[in-house]
């Protein structure tokens, strides 16, 4: 796996520090909301890329919160550019109504914006008390800048990255840092029948 890495873009240490910082801001913002006992918070994670980020983030949010997931496919297999976004109902677990809930939507990366726009639309239909969006990475391209997000851990160049939850053909999610891959890896054939998440 290490041989496939071209360059480390964001180190494990830098991620750790930034997640801590972001968690403090999110906590302060949610606690500043008017509420009687504690705010009714629902964190909605977009599968699968956000799982590592969410695992680290939630453990730094000292709030009473529920965790739910939605699955939206975009990058099929080894593709490295977006092909639209489709909600995968079977892997989506959010209640028909989010009334009274303050939702924190979390994704791994904001690229074309198709995924986040689809997720935001789905959640908005369920009428939450509020909706905030948090992404680990945002790419430097106009489409990404045009989507409204409240928290961004890192702005990165418009390159294909893996690690810390992000995959290529479902591999590399377990790398502790965010890296780019050597070109020979990116040209490999995908594993049959998988949807990019
Ligand atoms: P969008 O819909 O904004 O184009 O893409 C968002 C989804 O595509 C992300 O949730 C992620 O799963 C995938 N994606 C976008 N850019 C990258 C990237 O650079 N690396 C990886 N591994 N996945 C990406
Ligand atoms: Mg994803």
As a whole number of angstroms, the distance between CA 95 and CA 75 comes to 26
For residue 25, the CA-to-ligand 2 centroid distance in Å is 23
25-52 pLDDT, tens digit per residue, is: 999 999 999 877 888 999 999 999 999 9
- Residue 158 annotated to the active site: no
pLDDT of residue 1: 85
Sheet strands (E) in the chain: 5-10, 41-47, 65-73, 86-87, 102-110, 130-139, 151-156, 161-162, 178-181
Q: Report, as an integer, the average pLDDT of 136-140.
A: 98
60-96 pLDDT, tens digit per residue, is: 999 999 999 999 987 555 666 666 788 888 888 899 9
As a whole number of angstroms, the distance between CA 149 and CA 147 comes to 6
Model confidence, pTM? 0.93
Ion ligand 2 residue ranges (Cβ < 5 Å): 49, 197
| Ligand 1 site, residue 163, Cβ cutoff 6 A | no
Phi first, then psi, for residue 168 (nearest 5°) are: -135, 115
Query: Does residue 187 contact residue 166 with C-beta atoms inside 8 Å?
Result: no
Return left, alpha or beta for 127; rule: phi > 0 is left, psi -120 to 50 is alpha, else beta. Answer: left
Q: What is the mean pLDDT of the chain?
A: 92
- For residue 4, the 8-state DSSP code is G
């Amino acid at each position: 796996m290490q041989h496939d890495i071209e360059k480390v873009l964001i180190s494990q240490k830098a991620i750790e520090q930034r997640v801590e910082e972001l968690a403090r801001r999110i906590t302060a913002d949610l606690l500043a909301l008017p509420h009687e006992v504690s705010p009714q918070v629902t964190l909605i994670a977009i599968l699968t890329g956000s799982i590592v980020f969410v695992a680290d983030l939630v453990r730094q949010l000292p709030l009473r919160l529920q965790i739910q997931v939605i699955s939206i496919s975009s990058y099929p297999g080894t593709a490295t550019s977006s092909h639209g976004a489709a909600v995968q109902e079977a892997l989506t677990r959010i209640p028909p109504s989010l009334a009274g809930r303050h939702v924190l939507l979390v994704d791994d990366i904001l690229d074309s914006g198709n995924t986040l726009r689809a997720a935001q639309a789905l959640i908005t239909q369920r009428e939450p008390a509020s909706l905030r969006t948090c992404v680990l990475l945002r790419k430097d391209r106009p489409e990404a800048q045009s989507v409204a997000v409240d928290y961004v851990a890192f702005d990165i160049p418009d390159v294909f990255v893996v690690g810390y939850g992000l995959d290529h053909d479902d591999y590399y999610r377990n790398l502790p840092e965010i890296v780019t891959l050597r070109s020979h890896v990116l040209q490999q054939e995908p594993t049959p029948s998988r949807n990019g998440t």
